[in-house]
Structure 1
Amino acid sequence: MFRSCVLLILILGACVAHKFYIHNRCSHTVYVGLLGNHKLDQGGFELPSGQSHTTHVPNKWSGRVWGRTRCGNGRCETGDCGGGRIQCNGAGGVAPATLAEITFDAGSRRNQDFYDISLVDGFNLQMSMEPRSGTYNNHSSRKYYCKRAGCGTDVNQICPDELRVYGTGGTVACKSACLKWNSANYCCTGAHNKPSTCPPSYFSKIFKRACPYAYSYAYDDQSSTFTCDGWGAGQTAYDITFC
């Protein structure tokens, strides 16, 4: 492991040990976006319906994965990272977009991952993230330990009218209240910058009822943050699935 890690550092600038197995179960093409502290797959790629893609991830990587939809004519209707390009090359996605977020090899044990599915800035696609069997230390049965995080409900279908984003064929995404109005009480800023002064809103509760294992707003930590321990640093792999 040590020798192979040294070779990968020389070639890629980082030791690659983790993996993402990214699957498209949607009936349409998804353009995957990736953004983090080390560039993966040039920041994005096209993933046709029914296809899967393996991404190699360096140790201690921290970042996000999202899906871009209805891409063509120089732009994507959701999650666009600039000009509808396939490779985002370090650019983030335009909200609203469902996000898979993860920090690898964190915590005091150095082999602990923190991950979640976030709707804090809104929703565009059903999405889940789950540690792959055999790559983690299954020493706990805690509800949020090495379990599936995700949003399996099409929130676009139940999105309040004032939060809907329209595109080809109708509603293509659903904004969060923070993204829509950028107010302190919805974004948990200013005088509302702590859990006691920023409770769930009417709108975040709609997201939470639909997707109980995803972040619905900024202080939704207790039922949204998942952890998982690898057998050692750099050992874990995750399945990330759209639809």
Structure 2
Amino acid sequence: MQITMNFSRISFALQLFFICHFITSGKLREVEGCSIYISNKCPFPIWPATAPNTGHPVLSNGGFYLPSGGVRRIGAPGDWSGRIWARTGCNFNVPTNHKPACETGDCDGKLECEGTIGLPPATLVEMTIQYDKKQPSFYDVSLVDGYNLPVSVTNKPSSTKCLIRGCTKNLKDTCPPELQVVNDGGQVVACKSACLAFNLDSFCCRNKYGSPEKCKPSVYSSLFKNACPSYVSYAFDTPSPVLSCSSDQFIITFCPDKWATHHLSASSII
């Protein structure tokens, strides 16, 4: 029997040294864990969401509200694998009946996604943490399904070789009309990938195009790469933008400044 403990009421000092506990065969065992800090530098609120890969737990109930300027720490097992993204333009005050409550990244109209994968297009942070295996963790930012917000990812303490920078251009400004997602007010709120927009094997790198030799960059993936050179722009993007770094703390910043440094204080953590 596995018991997952709720750390939401533990003091901040203890949270920084987060340790997961579970019971196996009636014996208490300690498992090393990690901290993921999610920061919102956007001039508007966002609703970060998480979805685990198969066999891994849901983090922080899968979603929460984060105001502009806010930072939230979520605990993760030392072997967690999954995705993290931000939803925008959400309104959870009106019953949705499973209709989208967010303009981008929606998960079945729910505030807490509970493991549900978000509706693309949305910029995805993909992580495979291997801290408890004493091996480097892998992470990237993917635009394979499209883009809704810029994001940076780094470890803590920060290291240049472990930093995925934000974008140099706003993809919403350069997004071609055929890829645009527009809200009720006529604003471009996201940019689809060519695979998502056209569902063609040549753009999706599948079937006879399912290899690096057959699936090459397109005019659309090149547009993504030009705006966000540190991100995965299509399935076989090379050289691989995936980073491999050892750490038990990671910082994910939505709408980062171009040369942002990541300073977190106890008073800023929600």
Q: When the two structures are superposed, what TM-score results if normalisation uses the length of structure 2?
A: 0.77
Q: Which of the residues 30, 42, 55 maps onto 2:74?
A: 55
Q: Which of the residues 202, 206, 209 maps onto 2:226?
A: 209
The equivalences for 1:27-42 within 5 A come to 27-36=43-52, 37-42=56-61
Amino acid at match of 2:173: Q
Q: Which of the residues 155, 164, 169 maps onto 2:171?
A: 155
Q: Could you tell me how far 1:38 is from its partner in structure 2?
A: 1.1
Q: Could you tell me how far 1:15 is from its partner in structure 2?
A: 3.3
* Identity between Structure 1 and Structure 2 (%): 40
Moved more, 50-59 or 164-173: 164-173
Q: Secondary structure at the match of 1:45?
A: coil
Q: Could you tell me how far 1:88 is from its partner in structure 2?
A: 0.4
Amino acid at match of 1:23: S
Instruction: Report the equivalent of 1:219.
Output: 236
Distance change >3 Å, CA 152–CA 17, structure 1 → 2: farther
Instruction: Report the equivalent of 2:145.
Output: 121
The equivalences for 1:82-161 within 5 A come to 82-83=108-109, 85-105=110-130, 110-133=134-157, 145-151=161-167, 153-161=169-177
Instruction: Report the equivalent of 1:237.
Output: 249
Moved more, 219-228 or 35-44: 219-228
Moved segments of 4+, more than 3 Å: 13-16, 149-153
Structure ranking higher on relative contact order (CA contacts 8 Å, 6+ apart): 1
Report the Cα distance in structure 2 between the residues aligned to 1:196 and 1:190, rounded to whole angstroms: 13
Amino acid at match of 2:224: F
Distance change >3 Å, CA 221–CA 41, structure 1 → 2: farther
Q: Deviations over 1:56-80 (max 9, x none)?
A: 1101100010000001143101000
Q: Could you tell me how far 1:223 is from its partner in structure 2?
A: 4.0
Report the Cα distance in structure 1 between the residues aligned to 2:204 and 2:117, rounded to whole angstroms: 20
Q: Any conservation in 1 of the 2:63–2:113 contact (CA below 8 Å)? A: yes
Amino acid at match of 2:87: R
- Residue 185 of structure 1 pairs with residue 202 of structure 2: yes
- Residue 8 of structure 1 pairs with residue 32 of structure 2: no
Amino acid at match of 2:137: D
Instruction: Report the equivalent of 1:66.
Output: 85
Q: Could you tell me how far 1:229 is from its partner in structure 2?
A: 2.1
Q: Any conservation in 1 of the 2:140–2:164 contact (CA below 8 Å)? A: no
Q: Any conservation in 2 of the 1:98–1:125 contact (CA below 8 Å)? A: yes
Q: Any conservation in 2 of the 1:165–1:171 contact (CA below 8 Å)? A: yes
Q: Secondary structure at the match of 2:116?
A: coil
Q: Mark the structure with the bigger radius of gyration.
A: 2
Q: Any conservation in 1 of the 2:152–2:163 contact (CA below 8 Å)? A: no
Q: When the two structures are superposed, what TM-score results if normalisation uses the length of structure 1?
A: 0.85
Report the Cα distance in structure 2 between the residues aligned to 1:15 and 1:184, rounded to whole angstroms: 43
Q: Deviations over 1:43-101 (max 9, x none)?
A: 01000111110001101100010000001143101000011x21101111000000111
Q: Could you tell me how far 1:35 is from its partner in structure 2?
A: 0.6
Q: Any conservation in 2 of the 1:120–1:215 contact (CA below 8 Å)? A: yes
Q: Could you tell me how far 1:222 is from its partner in structure 2?
A: 1.8
Instruction: Report the equivalent of 2:104.
Output: 78
Q: Which has the higher strand share?
A: 1
